[in-house]
Amino acid sequence: MKFRIEKDTLGEVQVPNDKLWGAQTERSKNNFKIGPQASMPFEIIKAFAYLKKGAAYTNEELGVLSTEKRDLIAQVCEEILEDQLNQHFPLVIWQTGSGTQSNMNVNEVIANRAQLISKRQIGEEPILKANDDVNKSQSSNDTFPTAMHIAAYKILIENTIPSIENLKNTFKKKSKDFKDIVKIGRTHLMDATPLTLGQEFSGYTQLLENGLKTLKKSLESLSELALGGTAVGTGLNTPKGYAILVASHISKFTGHPFKTAPNKFEALSSHNAIVESHGALKQIAISLNKIANDIRMMASGPRSGIGELLLPENEPGSSIMPGKVNPTQCEALTMVCAQVMGNDVAITVGATQGHYELNVFKPMLISNFLQSARLLGDACQSFNENCAKGIEPNTKRIEELVTNSLMLVTALNTKIGYYKAAEIAQTAHKNGTTLKEEAIRLGYVSAEDFDHWVNPKEMI
């Protein structure tokens, strides 16, 4: 492999000739060999491309950057957004807590790529300088949190929320399809009074609706950008009007309603918007975990379990037991939920590390956030297509379980009183008989009254 010499304020560094990054990227690559599989998410790299392009347009408009330099920066940013330069972003999330090295990685790639576009050699007099031109009016301390918000907002709007909405709509349709199917309810995992399968699925619909409402509300905070605060929030070295104008350019380029954060000191030192939004993701994960567990338990069997639901049979379930099929989509979804809940703990801890004017857990915070958002979106899509849409009721088994349930005796409470009704249920359970048989034998209810009063369809 051939190398070239790159320089920064600490001196010279050897960089592979075929890579566009510079000295600061190479130092980070060599100094932080921690979990090489934990690369900085490309959502962040692309978010940087949007903000660098926005900054270039703003700087040019405010008279501190030439049109030629603006256009070069914008051209390279478009190449980054089109995945043409992915190999030039090698850094991991385990680096400086401000994300400085990833900011410089982007600056260096843009500057060196501009050299090649301009028919110049890397190492010659640069047409763009990474710090002075690409990073003009910026600091890593305000660019990285800006990239965090751009990436978080985009993945929620473009991936996570639509997938959850689709699953919610499937449950809503199932609740209508199943509205007349009376089944036994369960509390404490024990038999309870009846409800319809449609009512049960309407609960799942509402759980996701509530979570989506919370998540969508949190988007307002994520739409606020720190850019313009520079090092500590004062906006040192930015031209007048920069913060508002750069947010408007980013909004235009991304197609999302970003605006400048009202207080840059808060925007740099705290990440409550990430905490809030991920809290909504955790809420949805908790709901999805409950839903997936309910569905797989109701589908347990096929002959020795509850067996009220029939799930799509997607793949063989055992390497030794022929014919076995497992609720794999439910298992995958609940594993994702566990990961999201774990990520929330890491985000909670990371958000506490806002010392004075800067939070220094930024890369870890956004990496966990993006993983949760991506996992939930993908898992909901998979669960919807490969499980939820194909769920069918096992009406014969549902009717059998309703008929045999002792908790139908609850309908007699207002007719003969709680204690006599309890005696009927306990005696029937002890003797292995039906409620009707024991009600008549004990002399508390006639056969005609029992049939009239104990009707599952009238108990929902």
Amino acid identity for residue 151 in this structure: A
Amino acid identity for residue 154 in this structure: K
223 marked ligand binding residue:
no
Residue/partner pairs of 79-86 with CB below 8 Å, 24 or more apart:
79/113, 80/45, 80/46, 80/48, 80/49, 80/106, 80/109, 80/110, 81/46, 81/49, 81/50, 83/42, 85/20, 85/109, 85/113, 86/42, 86/45
> Of 350, 406, 370, nearest to 185 (Cα)?
406
Task: Please state, in angstroms and rounded to a whole number, the distance separating the CA atoms of residues 257 and 341.
Answer: 29
Bond into 363 cis (ω within 30): no
28 marked ligand binding residue:
no
> Of 366, 314, 332, 383, nearest to 164 (Cα)?
383
Tokens of 266: 């808060």
**For 456, which DSSP code?**
G
372 marked ligand binding residue:
no
99 marked ligand binding residue:
yes
Pairing type for strands 224-225 and 259-260 reads parallel
Task: Please state, in angstroms and rounded to a whole number, the distance separating the CA atoms of residues 272 and 266.
Answer: 9
Beta pairing partners, 195: 183
139 marked ligand binding residue:
yes
Tracing tokens 């304020």 back to the chain, one arrives at 9
343 marked ligand binding residue:
no
> Of 457, 387, 407, 385, nearest to 179 (Cα)?
457
Helix, strand counts (H, E) of the chain: 17, 10
DSSP E strands: which ranges in 115-240? Answer: 182-187, 190-196, 224-225
287 marked ligand binding residue:
no
Neighbour count for residue 66 (Cβ, 10 Å): 12
304 marked ligand binding residue:
no
218 marked ligand binding residue:
no
135 marked ligand binding residue:
no
Catalytic residues: 188, 318
Extract the annotated binding site for substrate.
98-100, 139-141, 187, 319, 324-326
Extract the annotated binding site.
98-100, 139-141, 187, 319, 324-326
